[in-house]
């Protein structure tokens, strides 16, 4: 009989159709790789050299207002532009197409020293409000078919500024990861007339071994198919296609579980836990997308300490992703840190 805690095995991702190799026995092997000592410097509430602090001039020459809560602006060095070309290029086996879009920066707080787990719930709720407004506003534009809300936290994740902030990229095409998830959810919806993630959540709530925390409206868990060591997912209990459908009470509950989960992250290695996180929700291409179920995923790289992270190398780059500690182990650790 397959023992998840001892035997190497593969797990299937119901949202993407991909597999991950799990090798739980390897978590017992001795570690003689890279280990560093980390010293955390306390950030000041205001940094005169920070491009995102209130009243400061950004690298692009624009001055920030003296904002008191959240602040959003179009990225001065955007990866996508609204007036770009949409032309198609084809030459034999070579193919390319111009891509239009809008890139926004969302400052979570005027306080330079705060990250999401340090903020009050009502302040995080203002971030959720802004996410909702931007999704609805950008998604209503005729050339925008997808809105990606995300955050890269920490230098380890390539964050270029320590001020608490995230980004929103809205674009004409629907990204490949979202397309894969759309396909799987639509297949399930057409076969059952039910949400794939709602049925998955029901099973996770019954088993309760990968759950981390929950409130009246949201659940945070480690997905059965998680790739990263402490990968987690927040799923609304109500079948929501997108953040624009959230009621005020749900936005407050979303803010509360964001704080709860990210505080647990910070306690794993007693450090400000780096991650890439983002919300996946229905495209804004004018279709109803009843199959879509909003979810937010966190991909933290830390594996053994505050400085030792997991890399996707070797077998993982050439074959399949692989993990050592099981999702059940990770969930138990995060659950214990409440």
* Secondary structure of residue 98 in the 3-state scheme: coil
Q: Using N-to-C axis directions, what is the helix angle for 196-207 and 176-192, rounded to 10°?
A: 80
Q: What kind and span of H or E run contains 169?
A: strand 165-171
| Marked catalytic residue, from 112, 146, 165, 295 | 165
List the one residue out of 87, 120, 74 whose CA is nearest residue 258.
Answer: 120
Give DSSP secondary structure letters for 179-214: HHHHHHHHHHHHHHSS-HHHHHHHHHHHH-SSEEEE
Which pair of tokens denotes residue 160?
């270029």
Q: Is residue 165 flagged as an active site residue?
A: yes
Three-class SS of 244-296: HHCCHHHHHHHHHHHHHHHHHHHHHCCCCCCEEEEEECCCCCCCCCCCCCCEE
Question: Which phi and psi angles does 20 have, rounded to 5°?
Answer: -130, 135
Among all chains, which residue has been given the structure tokens 């890279």?
A: 34
For residue 128, the tally of other CB atoms under 10 A from its CB is 21
Q: Cβ(99)–Cβ(146) under 8 Å?
A: no
Number of residues that make up the chain: 338
How far is residue 322's CA from residue 305's CA, in Å, rounded to a whole number? 19
Q: Cβ(20)–Cβ(8) under 8 Å?
A: no
Q: Cβ(220)–Cβ(232) under 8 Å?
A: yes
For residue 119, the tally of other CB atoms under 10 A from its CB is 21
Which of the residues are catalytic?
165
């Amino acid at each position: 009989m397959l023992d998840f805690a001892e035997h190497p095995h593969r797990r299937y991702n119901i949202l993407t159709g991909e597999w991950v190799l799990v090798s739980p026995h390897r978590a017992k092997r001795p570690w003689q790789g890279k280990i560093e000592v980390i010293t955390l410097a306390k950030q000041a509430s205001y940094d005169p050299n920070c491009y995102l602090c209130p009243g400061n001039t950004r690298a692009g020459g624009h001055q920030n207002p003296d904002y008191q809560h959240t602040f959003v602006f179009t990225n001065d060095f955007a990866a996508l532009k609204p007036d770009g070309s949409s032309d198609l290029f084809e030459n034999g086996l070579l193919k390319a197409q111009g891509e239009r879009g809008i890139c926004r920066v969302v400052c979570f707080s005027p306080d330079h020293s705060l990250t999401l787990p340090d903020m009050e719930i009502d302040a995080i709720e203002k971030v959720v409000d802004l996410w909702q407004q931007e999704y609805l506003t950008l998604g209503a534009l005729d050339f925008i078919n997808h809105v990606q809300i995300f955050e890269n936290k920490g230098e380890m994740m390539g964050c270029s500024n320590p001020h608490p902030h995230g980004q929103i990229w809205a674009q004409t095409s629907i990204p490949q990861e979202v397309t894969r998830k759309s396909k799987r959810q639509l297949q399930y919806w057409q076969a059952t007339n039910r949400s794939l993630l709602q049925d998955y959540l029901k099973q996770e709530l019954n088993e309760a071994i990968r759950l981390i925390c929950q409130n009246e409206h949201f659940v945070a868990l480690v997905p059965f198919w998680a790739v990263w060591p402490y990968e987690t997912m927040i799923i609304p209990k109500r079948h929501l296609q997108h953040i624009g459908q959230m009621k005020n009470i749900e936005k407050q509950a979303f803010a509360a579980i964001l704080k709860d989960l990210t505080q647990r992250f910070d306690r794993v290695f007693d450090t400000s836990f780096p991650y890439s996180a983002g919300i996946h929700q229905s495209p804004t291409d004018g279709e109803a997308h009843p199959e879509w179920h909003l979810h937010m995923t966190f991909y933290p790289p830390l594996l053994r300490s505050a400085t030792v992270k997991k890399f996707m190398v070797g077998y993982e780059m050439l074959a399949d992703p692989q993990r050592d500690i099981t999702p059940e182990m990770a969930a138990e650790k995060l659950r214990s840190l409440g």
